[in-house]
Structure 1
């Protein structure tokens, strides 16, 4: 794995992950898509049928498997909040890059996305609280923090590439 992207939902992990992978000429691995493929059902269905605990166990297995592959990994927003995942992210030699955005930016990006189970169940105040609750866990495993508000995806990717280049030297 060349880079692992973490951050709250709507921070840009998938968008940036795809562009970064393209620039590095590597595959992009979306952890949520890998979970969906492994389970054979959508994340919302996994939550409804099996609950969050089952989802998080599956997420951990897929995270460990994905880190062993070549590419750029975009994690789910809750991935680092689980102790076993946080440990994996802290111990990996792969750079972990935290993409941050303000609450207003995140709400603008995700407010109409029906495919996010926590958006549907928590509402705005709940999301704000959840974002703040997760902040310390994100920071505990991040090697680089990038604020995505107002920055173009190309600028963000350029900043990450610059960081990765200097990490290898």
Structure 2
């Protein structure tokens, strides 16, 4: 991988990941999609039939495999909140970029997406409580934080490219 995107739901991981991959001329992978493909079942079905422990085991193995592949990886919102996954992310030589957004931005984005059962289950207050609970875990797993409030996906990609490509330019300039 060239970059790994983490963050709360609605932070823009998938949208930004796809655009970043296109601009860098590489592949985009979504960890949740990879898990679904590997299991041959939806995530909700995996949880129902095998439980969270099995899902997390599958997620951890899929994360390890994904990091070894080229491209940009967008993780699930809960991925870095599991200690084993956070350790994998921190040990990776790939930059881990946490996309952040304030509560209003997140709520505005997830309200438009009907495919998020957790939004319906928790409601706005519960969702923001979960976001707050996870914030420190995201920061701990990340190498770089990028605030996405009031930015278009293109502007977010430009910021990420500046941050992850800057060391390459510095090395090239020094010789």
**Does TM, normalized by the shorter one, top 0.5?**
yes
CA distance in 1, matches of 2:33, 2:151: 26
Query: TM-score, normalised to structure 1's length?
Result: 0.95
Decide whether aligned partners of structure 1 residues 109 and 21 sit closer, same or farther in structure 2, where only a CA change above 3 A counts. Answer: same
List structure 1 runs of 4+ shifted beyond 3 angstroms: none
5+ residue gaps, structure 1: none
CA distance in 2, matches of 1:122, 1:20: 31
- 2:68 is equivalent to residue 61 of structure 1: no
Corresponding residue of 2:124: 124
Corresponding residue of 2:2: 2
Contact 1:44/1:116 (8 A) holds in 2: no
Which string of whole-angstrom CA distances, capped at 9 and with x for unpartnered residues, describes residues 2-35 of structure 1? 0000000010000000000001111000001101
Which string of whole-angstrom CA distances, capped at 9 and with x for unpartnered residues, describes residues 95-143 of structure 1? 0000001111111111253432322322222111110111111000211
Please identify the structure whose Cα radius of gyration is greater. Answer: 2
CA distance in 2, matches of 1:140, 1:167: 21
5+ residue gaps, structure 2: none
Query: TM-score, normalised to structure 2's length?
Result: 0.92
Corresponding residue of 1:84: 84
Output aligned runs, 1:100-115, within 5 Å.
Answer: 100-115=100-115
Q: CA RMSD in A?
A: 1.2
Secondary structure of the residue that 1:99 maps to in structure 2? strand
